[in-house]
Amino acid sequence: MQRVVVTGIGSISPLGSDWAEVKARLGSYQNAVQFIERWREYEGLGTALGAPVTDFQVPATYTRKQTRSMGRVSLLSVCATEKALEQAGLLGSDELHTGRAGVSYGSSSGSTDAVADFGEMLINKRTDGLNATSYVRMMSHTAAVNIGVFFGLTGRVIPTSTACVAGSQGLGYAYEAIRHGLQDIMVAGGGEELCPTQAAVFDTLYAASTNNDNPGQTPRPFDRDRDGLVLGEGACTFVLESYDNAVARGATPIVELVGFGTNSDGSHVTRPNAGTMARCIELALEDAGIPATEIRYVNAHGTATDHGDIAESTATEKTMGSGVSISSLKSYMGHTLGACGALEAWMSIQMMYDGWFAPTLNLENVDPGCGDLDYIVDAGREISTEYVMSNNFAFGGINTSLIFKKL
């Protein structure tokens, strides 16, 4: 079995695109949630809240030929990947073209405008709105494919279109490919663009916040008075390598990925199951070969939905004990869906090295159903730990747990 290390990370988020910027935003205790005026155009859509990336620009060096197959989710993902490869010292490297470097990447869906073009075809019985790249921009594995083509990756392509765990499964499956010697390098993570159709999904389930007049006061993960989730967008890419490969080329590992667990509830597509969530966490601990007591911080999925918060809290307390510190970064940047597993893992790693962990914003009265976990509230907390755990749980009853070790 190969050790798996991270040698580069690139991100684009509603809180910023480098750690100094993100940490400053976390330390300000103000979230990135905004009122989205254009969503008021959709009759019947109750929520008009989102956490957009407001400063993203396509690099001037990207040509039209390179970008014509990309919608926003692919552009975000490719830009994040370029940053990660540059940090890893692999941008432009021949190692990417040997067949031993692949991509494991996910999003919930393709780009909104391309989906709309096909919708117009079905409604109006006309194809004049389509072109040669419409499907590539719409398909669920658009980010993974565009990353592979843009950087010339010729190894495995593992698309993880698994909603809220797309990014964490992207990391986990890349980890497994390297650990078992099937690849030396994997570009892994997830991305998502802010889309009104996804807001409508949660709205119809009565799971989206409609606190449109008070963006800063929602979402409220684990709070008794929570009113639902808020969507965000972004992308985050990790460069994973075998430890031997990283050492051989003189790279400096950032962190080691030591544990991954994933399973499914097999019972309901939208109602979470605390029992299988707990088993997923146990699988990650078993994979890492450490007891729960070694982990002093858990990054929660923390969506601010009734069933999700309670099931997750129950599972976490059962496996990790009530003394573990826990918080939800979705209170800052909303639910970034396919990107959240990678973005939240990255931020957890950075907080581990800083020894400071952000609280859950807007958590004033812990729901009694959420148990006795040590929720970080009001202000950040100094914690010294060698390990962090990052958990995500998705539609379809798909669960993931990742454990990272400080180097």
Asked whether residue 146 falls in the same domain as residue 187, the answer is: yes
Mark which of 239, 255, 271 sits at the end of a domain: 255
State residue 63's pLDDT score. 97
For the chain, how many structural domains are there in total? 2
Asked whether residue 186 falls in the same domain as residue 217, the answer is: yes
Mark which of 229, 255, 281 sits at the end of a domain: 255
Domain of residue 321: give its range. Answer: 260-406
Enumerate the active-site residues: 164, 301, 335
Asked whether residue 238 falls in the same domain as residue 290, the answer is: no
Mark which of 255, 278, 308 sits at the end of a domain: 255
CA 199 to chain CA centroid, Å, is 17
Neighbours of 243 (CB within 10 A): 17
Instruction: Return phi, psi of residue 381, to 5°.
Output: -130, 135
Asked whether residue 326 falls in the same domain as residue 342, the answer is: yes
Asked whether residue 320 falls in the same domain as residue 206, the answer is: no
Q: Is 239 helix (H, G, I), strand (E, B) or coil?
A: strand
Can you give the CATH number for the domain in which 379 is found? 3.40.47.10
Asked whether residue 217 falls in the same domain as residue 274, the answer is: no
Is residue 367 within 8 A of residue 222, CB to CB? The reply is: yes
Asked whether residue 244 falls in the same domain as residue 107, the answer is: yes
Q: Which residues pair with 287 in a beta bridge?
A: none
State residue 161's pLDDT score. 95
**Structure tokens of 273?**
């199951």
**Which residue reads 């096909």 in tokens?**
118
State residue 217's pLDDT score. 97
State residue 88's pLDDT score. 98
Task: Report the DSSP pairing between strands 101-106 and 185-192.
Answer: parallel
State residue 356's pLDDT score. 98
Asked whether residue 250 falls in the same domain as residue 286, the answer is: no
Asked whether residue 63 falls in the same domain as residue 166, the answer is: yes
Asked whether residue 144 falls in the same domain as residue 81, the answer is: yes
Residue-by-residue pLDDT tens, the chain, 407 positions: 999 999 999 999 999 999 999 999 999 999 999 999 999 999 999 999 999 999 999 999 999 999 999 999 999 999 999 999 999 999 999 999 999 999 999 999 999 999 999 999 999 999 999 999 999 999 999 999 999 999 999 999 999 999 999 999 999 999 999 999 999 999 999 999 999 999 999 999 999 999 999 999 999 999 999 999 999 999 999 999 999 999 999 999 999 999 999 999 999 988 999 999 999 999 999 999 999 999 999 999 999 999 999 999 999 999 999 999 999 999 999 999 999 999 999 999 999 999 999 999 999 999 999 999 999 999 999 999 999 999 999 999 999 999 999 99
Q: Is 6 helix (H, G, I), strand (E, B) or coil?
A: strand
Q: Is 295 helix (H, G, I), strand (E, B) or coil?
A: coil
Is residue 11 within 8 A of residue 343, CB to CB? The reply is: yes
Asked whether residue 280 falls in the same domain as residue 323, the answer is: yes
Alpha helices in 31-88 (DSSP H): 64-67, 72-88
State residue 61's pLDDT score. 96
**Closest to 217 measured CA to CA, from 27, 13, 30, 26:** 30
Asked whether residue 324 falls in the same domain as residue 391, the answer is: yes
**Structure tokens of 327?**
């918080």
Close Cβ partners of 382 (under 8 Å, ≥ 6 residues apart): 355, 356, 357
State residue 297's pLDDT score. 98
State residue 174's pLDDT score. 98
